[in-house]
Structure 1
Amino acid sequence: MIIGIMPLILITLALWGLFLIGVIHASVFILVAAFHAAGCVGDLYFEIVLMFSPIGAMVEDTATGMTIYVK
């Protein structure tokens, strides 16, 4: 779960940092952050599926989706 959510967190923090130190303008920040968050929707869906999976479930990432194995 940590690996799945880290790109969203780290890139968002980097964007915030660039905005706060004045490297990017507010409109650029909003546009880039919105596109980034939209791209992370699949990762967020994956995180929600994992949260509702039983403890000990194993996940296989496949080319067409994911498979969750439960004992």
Structure 2
Amino acid sequence: MLKLSSGKKRLLLFVLAGWILLMASNQVDELKLYQGAFVATYALGITSIILLTGYSGQLSLGHSALMAVGAY
């Protein structure tokens, strides 16, 4: 039997999950697909805020300020 490394297993899992989601999106009406994308966007935003604030809940604005200056 072919042994796969953990990285290849993870990649195979992501490809399989993506294929399943792609096939499922063809069977779902547009409203449900839009609502699912909306929920996924908010979940990503909430997860990023949780990762940004960390365990202590302190928000670092230094990186945001430097990025804003660079964008200006």
TM-score by length of 2: 0.35
Structure with the bigger percentage of strand = 1
Which structure has the larger Rg over C-alpha atoms? 2
- TM, length-normalised to structure 1: 0.35
- Name whichever structure is richer in helix by fraction: 2
